């Protein structure tokens, strides 16, 4: 009988170890517990290099999903796992309901969101379900998560529209506007004349279909355009 290999990563090490022990009591499950993002990366690096057997399911503490290990440049753990191990199914372990967090996790290719106080039977149901290609969410969260995902899709579409409409220099000017810089400060930062900055600002307003800097900034913020550093 093939065994399901599960990796539990939770900053509460006692919880992680207890959960792994309970899962391993199942005849078809083998689980390992880790308590930090760096430890998870090290183990998964060994998997990637073929020095350790692969895992089927990652149970990841939702609070660690966006964490970046110290001195690393590989980005949030969830995104890195999705890119590096496409066959590894990730299920988030959550201490509380968080529709926005669940939506972000699903957008990053997580396959489930489960409360930490769920029964072992429920967790096993989710583990086996995601391996069949299912996505699992608590019914109470479903409506809010769908709303969050739809909102995020609209914002991404608006962001893409803005980026496509503006030239690279106009986008730089808009990001400076988002950072609260006035015309003179933008000119100094971008090594342009105030007149040229004024022209770029007018072009930005025209392409965005707004009539004021405040309206342009509000639209860009809703679209998720980041301010200048």
Q: Which residue has the higher pLDDT, 226 or 8?
A: 8
Q: How much is the pTM? A: 0.63
| Structural domains of the chain, with CATH | 4-145 (3.40.50.2300), 166-223 (1.10.10.10)
- Percentage of residues in the chain having pLDDT higher than 70: 86
What tokens does 38 get? 């760096």
pLDDT over 80 (residue 73): no
Q: Which of 65, 163, 138 is nearest to 107 (CA)?
A: 65
In this predicted model, what pLDDT tens digit does every residue of 186-217 receive, in sequence order? 999 999 999 999 999 999 998 888 888 888 88
In this predicted model, what pLDDT tens digit does every residue of 131-185 receive, in sequence order? 999 988 877 676 676 776 666 666 566 666 777 788 989 989 999 999 899 899 9
165 pairs with which residues across the strands?
A: none
The region, left, alpha or beta by phi > 0 then psi within -120 to 50, assigned to residue 75 is: left
Contact status, residue 136 vs residue 130, Cβ threshold 8 Å = yes
Q: Which residue has the higher pLDDT, 72 or 135?
A: 135
């Amino acid at each position: 009988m093939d065994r399901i290999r599960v990796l539990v990563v939770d900053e509460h090490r006692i919880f992680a170890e207890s959960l792994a022990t309970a899962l391993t009591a199942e005849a078809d499950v083998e689980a390992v517990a880790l308590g930090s993002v760096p430890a998870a990366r090290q183990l998964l690096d060994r998997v990637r290099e073929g020095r350790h057997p692969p895992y089927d399911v990652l149970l990841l503490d939702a609070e660690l999903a966006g964490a970046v290990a110290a001195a690393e440049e590989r980005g949030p753990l969830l995104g890195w796992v999705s890119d590096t191990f496409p066959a590894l199914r990730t299920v988030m372990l959550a201490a509380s309901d968080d529709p926005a967090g669940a939506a972000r996790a699903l957008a990053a290719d997580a396959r489930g969101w489960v409360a930490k106080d769920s029964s072992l039977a429920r967790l096993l149901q989710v583990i086996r379900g995601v391996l069949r290609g299912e996505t699992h969410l608590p019914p109470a969260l479903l409506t809010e998560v769908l709303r969050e995902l739809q909102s995020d899709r609209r914002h991404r579409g608006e962001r893409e529209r803005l980026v496509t409409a503006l030239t690279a220099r106009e986008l730089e000017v808009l990001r400076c506007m988002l950072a609260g810089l006035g015309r003179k400060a933008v000119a100094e930062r971008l090594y342009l004349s105030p007149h040229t900055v004024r022209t770029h600002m007018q072009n930005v307003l025209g392409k965005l279909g707004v009539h004021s800097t405040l309206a342009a900034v509000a639209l860009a913020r809703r679209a998720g355009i980041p301010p200048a550093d």
